[in-house]
Amino acid sequence: MSALADYGIEPTPLVRLERLAPPGIHLFAKCEWHLPTGSVKDRVAAGMIAAAKAAGQLAPGLRLVEPSSGNTGIALARITRLLGIPLTVLVPDNVSEERIRLLQAFGAEIEFTPGSEGSNGAVWRAEKLAEEGGFLMLHQYENAANPGSHQMTTGPEISAQLAELGLGAPDAFVATLGTGGTLTGVGRHFRGLGSPTAIVAAEPPTGELISGLRSLADGYVPPVFDPSVLDGKILVRTRTSIDMTRRLMEEEGLFVGPSSGAAVHAALKFARRLTPGAVVVTLLPDAGWKYLSTGIFDGTIDEAEARALGRTLW
């Protein structure tokens, strides 16, 4: 029974990647699209809401504001609707129609921010609302409940699932680096058990890399992402992510989003350093549905890469 079961967080399947795994390496993947809104962010949203509740922040009259129009926004929209907490999601007015409809379907109120300001614009406007307008902002990049949720759920699930197969702690855990919550939380879980599991990041070439958010008043705000937890960092180019995402579909029959391709590529690359019999676990954040309109599944790899250039895919 999961620590966040009250919020609908149950263990996600751990599947074996038989065809992509190098000879002698046992490669497993957590399939996070089995979570309520279809992404790993369901854990983070649940964790942050649970923490807010424990801190007594969920008082009547509370309104939440959230600048993420992606998986985090969607995950929060679901939970806040179930709890009856109004949520306003700030969305750049040039995001896809799918995103907007998805957020609305889950019950979020949407307010548009200028597309020219990008996602950064949505963030500072959300902070302003939180400061002035009496909204609560959960700050996934600064909220300890983000890695906390992974330490409470993801890490223990992996340990239990491997134990069922008669395996001990994995030799490596590989995941994409966004907020750094997954790597930090799972890393702390394995460190806490004294396991020598290597924690490896798949790093995107573009996207909102935020490490070390700072504020004048505090001098330095400890980031969600604890770099000391990492044993390796592998940069994965957009083209490579797309290529591996397609291979996951073609060779393993898994329909996943591009960050999953990045994670598996990094996992395979890291696995080359390991001895036969090694166990590697990776995490696949979401499925491919949301990305159909980005064209990464269509045409040649060159065409797909060209369409993807300049976009933040993950």
- Bridge partner list, 115: none
Edge-to-edge, what's the strand order for the sheet holding 198-203? 14-16, 26-31, 279-284, 172-176, 198-203, 232-235
228 is catalytic: no
Q: Measured at the alpha carbon of residue 127, what is the angle toward residues 214 and 210, in degrees to the nearest 5?
A: 40
Nearer CB in complex with another protein: 292/309: 309
Least gap, CB of 284 to another protein (angstroms)? 23
Least gap, CB of 207 to another protein (angstroms)? 7
Name the catalytic one among 2, 68, 241, 259.
Answer: 259
211 is catalytic: no
Nearer CB in complex with another protein: 118/156: 118
Nearer CB in complex with another protein: 26/139: 139
Q: Which residues contact another protein by CB under 8 A?
A: 90, 93, 111-118, 120-121, 123-125, 127-129, 131, 141, 204-216, 219-220, 309-310
CA-to-CA distance for 203 and 277, rounded, in angstroms?
26
Least gap, CB of 91 to another protein (angstroms)? 10
Least gap, CB of 212 to another protein (angstroms)? 5
Nearer CB in complex with another protein: 35/110: 110
Name the CA dihedral angle for 62, 68, 69, 74, rounded to a multiple of 10 degrees: -60
Name the catalytic one among 41, 69, 119, 241.
Answer: 41
Residues identified as active-site: 41, 259
